[in-house]
Chain A
Amino acid sequence: MAKDAGLKGYQHALMPVINKPLVEVELLAIDLEMTGLNASFDQILSIGVVPIRQGQLILSEAQHKLVQIEGSVGQSATIHGILDTHLDAALTPEQAMAWFLSVSEGKVLVAHHAPLDLAFLQSGLQACLGEKPRLLAIDTLLLEKQRLLRQQEHLQEGSLRLGRSRARYGLPVYAAHNALIDALACGELLLAQVAAMGGATKVKIAELLP
């Protein structure tokens, strides 16, 4: 897509969908692996995306991209399992951001603990396009937190993590982790959360956004 005009168009494309029920809207469950937790100097290592259409995750369009970094993955390899050698065939950060904008255009983003992923995407986009877009995402962690607080449950340390949240809906345990599997896991969690809120034909996107 064209860069400058594109970013505005990218944001505008989302406005009309806010008041639609989830089943009528295209979403994109995402997850990022990073070299660390600080968006101002850590870097994106990989991005996983799974589109959600008509309330279902579409695996044929699920994608996983590795991203080149400056320097070495260092100690973070122990967390995400991505080694320097894996990154040889990876996209450059510029290519990765362009790819991300194209697959996510017109789709509402979904992530678990979204602020972290969004912060990395925003600084990545700014570095490549010179413009810091305002990204909006449904945060499954926040939805879960609100639900538990409504039920007056005491929030225990770690109880909002992806795996623990999924367990409350009887969703399967995924032993393996990478950006793609976690994006899928996050998308499934959203479907379960929406089912508990009344179903994809009733719950509107606006109710899910922070």
Chain B
Amino acid sequence: MDASELQPITQFLGQLTPFDSLSEQNLERCCRALSVGYYSRSSVYVPLDEEHPQLYIVRSGAFEVRGEDGDLIDRLGDGDFFGFPSLLSGEKVSNRVQILEDGLVYHLDPETFNRLRSESREFDRFFNRAFAKRLRHQGRFKAKELGSTNRVSSLMSKQPLCLDINASVSDAARLMRDNRVSSVLIIDNQKLAGILTDRDLRNRVLAESLDGSLPVHQAMTVTPTTLSANALVFEAMLLMSQHNIHHLPIMDENRPIGVITSTDILRGQSSQPLLLIGEIERQQDLESLINVSKQIPLLLQNLISADARAEEIGRVLTSVTDALTRRLIVLNQQILGQAPMPFCWLAFGSQGRQDQAACSDQDNGLLLAHEMDEYAQGYFEALTKAVCAGLDRCGYVYCPGDIMAQNPKWRMTLEQWQQKFANWVEHPEPKALMHASIFFDMRCVYGPSSLFEGLQSQVLESTKDNDIFLAGMAGNALQVSPPLGFFKKFVLERDGQEVKGIDLKHKGSALINDIARIYALSAGISEVNTAKRIRLLMEQSIINRKDALNLADAHEFIAHMRLSNQGYQFTHNQPLTNYLMPQQLSSLVRHQLRDAFKVVHDAQAGLKLKFTRSF
């Protein structure tokens, strides 16, 4: 048989990663080896033959992979695969595959599968990675402990100070003084021979009345205890306490690439969120708050290197911002005296949604219990100016759009705020709404919750089932589409001369935020965090379960890519941006990213259908 005559199948597989990496001949052989089955929802599960594992390629329909305890592991559609973990591991099939929608599935036998793996490295690597990802995802709905997975490479000082073994202890001392470090690595013939520390200079040189011309090898600790770069911080702590030492050279193969000290570890721990928040609450003046806030970028990097979920990272960083804001309000009230009336400090946008990342700017406002007299006006003017300036100096730059409490326009009474929102809701002009959308993601950071609820409940009442307003919001949200075409040919944002890559924030996360906001406002849901909004929308059956889970996964994946990209930029001393260069991605990650954008695209289509059809 001439396999190219089965064109619908060769064409389908030929476009599918990793089959697209196969030679034409292998692709045809592969198509020839397939058998085609049809699975119907009425049989609930795909019957998996434990004795004869095979690769299942989904041609149409929808399936869910569930673990032994019924946990959702993966959701599959056209062009997805299942059955490969057993093929790769040789272990018996333990997962079950539920049929959500009837579909056509191609089966590939293990012999052909293994032959393709041995003939194409890319094919082999794709399934190995998919398998690794599957293992990781087994626990994705379980809480992950932060910190314990932290690697020493994230805390060590890079480019360690090195000295030749024939140098004197005076040379070593001068080098340490000039570089302001407490240890130096001693190198013999390009290999690590020892380590010399402050303590060695004291105990082995000065206390013995030896002079500075002593060769370093007579004072150093010979063949010191070392650790590899991917060891856990926890293991470094254990080693230090076992050997009563404070310095550990970090090795990559046989080459020293860094040193980690007990001080590094202490510093790393103080950037743990709870400790950091505790520290913020203890500070007594602005200067020390600014000092503490310098740890925030490090906290972000620690969370990223610990592979925390993007949603958790956003919540942790925002809780630090909230703590800083509250502390600034309290400290300034100590100077200005007690406020003349109850008030709420409102956070909008990303702080409101609890999804702050690196380089967030301020978006805030003030909600006052009643009209201000002249004294109150002066008081709140001074308070808000001081708090906003403090936030700016702590790294949260002034809002370019001037949406800040220090702007008198955004200091209003309950009644005035209600009026402001009523204006947006009743006259949903596209341009006005575009700027207003961040206000609908509002949260009270400081002040009596009863006052805030008075605002929020009125806003939600006016937006719920308000077709005209929701159509206006939806119309705005549909102005930007996800960069779906990038998979075929990278569609890149251009910034002047330089190619900036894919804008993960404005073409990804922001679109999902918009979608969740509009549905939440339509249903009168008060939650503003995007992931929680989606969960509530699912629980209230406003978005169907499958679409909601897909959207939540896409949101997490895009946010995760944005954060890990910023982690990469940080470690490579590049400025932090939201732009991802697709060349840096493996074809698998590109594949996943395209899937995530596809979900956003579909959700936008759903939004359009639901909210804009009659206008």
Contact = CB atoms under 8 A, between A and B. Distances in A.
Interface string A39-56: 000000000000000011
Contacts of A16: none
| 6 cross-chain pairs, A with B, having the tightest CB-CB distances, nearest first | A195-B40, A191-B38, A57-B36, A174-B8, A56-B35, A56-B37
Interface residues of A, number: 29
Contact of A59 (B2, B12, B35, B42): B35
A63 B1 contact: yes
Given A174-B8, A178-B5, A188-B36, 18 more contacts: A56-B36, A57-B36, A59-B32, A59-B34, A60-B34, A63-B1, A170-B61, A172-B59, A175-B8, A180-B6, A181-B6, A184-B8, A184-B9, A188-B38, A191-B37, A195-B39, A195-B42, A198-B42
B38 A176 contact: no
Which residue, A170, A171, A195, has most C-beta atoms of chain B within 10 A? A195
B192 interface: no
Interface string B33-69: 1111111101100000000000000011100000000
A172 B60 contact: yes
Contacts of B107: 56
B398 to A, nearest CB: 54
Given A171-B104, A181-B6, A192 B1 contact: no
A64 interface: yes
A191 B40 CA distance: 10
Interface of B: 1-2, 5-9, 12, 31-40, 42-43, 59-61, 101-104, 107
Contact of A64 (B5, B43, B101): B5
A62 to B, nearest CB: 6
Given A170-B61, A188-B36, A191-B37, A176 B42 contact: no
A148 to B, nearest CB: 17
A46 to B, nearest CB: 10
A175 B10 CA distance: 13
Contacts of A175: 8
A63 to B, nearest CB: 5
A196 interface: yes
A100 to B, nearest CB: 15
Nearest to B39: A195
Nearest to A184: B6
B40 to A, nearest CB: 3
Nearest to A201: B43
A134 to B, nearest CB: 29
Given A57-B35, A170-B101, A176 B60 contact: no
A21 to B, nearest CB: 14
B37 A196 contact: no
Contacts of A64: 1-2, 5
A18 to B, nearest CB: 23
A127 interface: no
A199 interface: yes
B39 A181 contact: no
Given A64-B2, A170-B101, A188-B104, A195 B38 contact: yes
Nearest to B47: A201
A58 interface: yes
14 contacts: A56-B36, A59-B9, A60-B32, A64-B1, A64-B5, A181-B8, A184-B6, A184-B9, A184-B36, A192-B40, A192-B104, A196-B40, A199-B42, A199-B43
A169 interface: yes
B100 to A, nearest CB: 12
Contacts of B39: 195
A59 B36 contact: yes
Nearest to B33: A60
A38 B570 CA distance: 75
Nearest to A64: B5
B6 A59 contact: yes
A171 B103 CA distance: 7
A171 B38 CA distance: 10
Interface SS of A by simple majority: mixed
A148 B7 CA distance: 30
Contact of B8 (A55, A176, A187, A198): A176
Contacts of B2: 64
Contact of A172 (B40, B42, B43, B104): B104
B5 A180 contact: yes
A57 to B, nearest CB: 4
Contacts of B31: 59
Nearest to B61: A170
Interface in A61-97: 62-64
A25 to B, nearest CB: 16
Contacts of B42: 195-196, 198-199
Given A171-B104, A195-B38, A59 B33 contact: yes
A10 to B, nearest CB: 23
Nearest to B34: A59
A159 B404 CA distance: 62
B60 A62 contact: no
Contacts of A172: 8, 12, 59-60, 104
A72 B564 CA distance: 66
A58 B36 CA distance: 7
A199 B38 CA distance: 10
Contacts of A192: 38, 40, 102, 104
A93 B60 CA distance: 38
B112 to A, nearest CB: 10
A64 B7 CA distance: 13
Interface in A176-210: 176, 178, 180-181, 184, 187-188, 191-192, 194-196, 198-199
A57 B59 CA distance: 14
A175 B12 CA distance: 12
Contacts of A174: 8
A141 B107 CA distance: 27
Contacts of A170: 60-61, 101-103
A60 B34 CA distance: 7
A176 B7 CA distance: 7
Given A63-B1, A64-B1, A181-B7, A169 B102 contact: yes
A57 B103 CA distance: 14
Which residue, B35, B37, B60, has most C-beta atoms of chain A within 10 A? B35
A187 B31 CA distance: 16
B58 to A, nearest CB: 11
Contacts of A176: 7-8
A187 B206 CA distance: 90
Nearest to B31: A59
A138 to B, nearest CB: 15
A7 B267 CA distance: 89
B19 to A, nearest CB: 15
Which residue, B5, B38, B59, B101, has most C-beta atoms of chain A within 10 A? B38
A184 B34 CA distance: 12
Contacts of B40: 192, 195-196, 199
A170 B100 CA distance: 13
Which residue, B32, B39, B59, B104, has most C-beta atoms of chain A within 10 A? B104
Contacts of B43: 195, 199
